Amino acid sequence: MTRFAWFSVTRSQISPDLFLKYYIYGMSINPYLNIETSSDFQVYEFESTGKKSIKKRVRFDLIDGYERIYNLALCTILADGSEDCETASRNGDMEMVLEPAVHIAIIYTNRFPDRKVFFRGSDAVRSRKYQIGITQYLDVAMNDFFIDGLLINNQNEIILREPFQSGKNYAGFIFTRGK
């Protein structure tokens, strides 16, 4: 795994485009932004240090080869090394954990600008929290991404895909690199 230490990076060490994205999205000092990545940039790890120390993993898996859509899975790494991508860790630091997930999505789409990133919460409550975060930073995010909101039925089929609209509830989201 390669380590990213975002807050020790200087402007001269990265491209101007990436530095701007780092500056825009990285306004808060988040200790969780010490991110490690696999050599193929498909798997990322960092540590959640809320009530206890928990290793987190973000993984990108191809789900639609035609459209090049990759699922972003945010998982807890269990003691035996396996992943739990469904159960909430309830570590008291959800906001702090979501921020590195956003940074990872930016790193990933900088590396692979032709790929789209799909994500949704493991339940309706988490999807709603993600939507609140998207809405909060919508103006900034739309500088770099086209964002689709999705309605998904009980068989996990997309029944509606449309440009993201504030105030409308979605079950999932697709981010496509724009500019």
152 neighbors 169 (Cβ within 8 angstroms): no
CA distance 58 to 46: 9
- Dig out the tokens for 38 from the structure: 């696999």
| Average pLDDT of the residues in 58-67 | 95
Say what the pLDDT of residue 31 is: 58
| Residue pLDDT, tens place only, 88-144 | 777 766 766 777 787 788 889 989 999 999 999 888 888 888 888 788 777 777 778
> pTM for the whole thing?
0.78
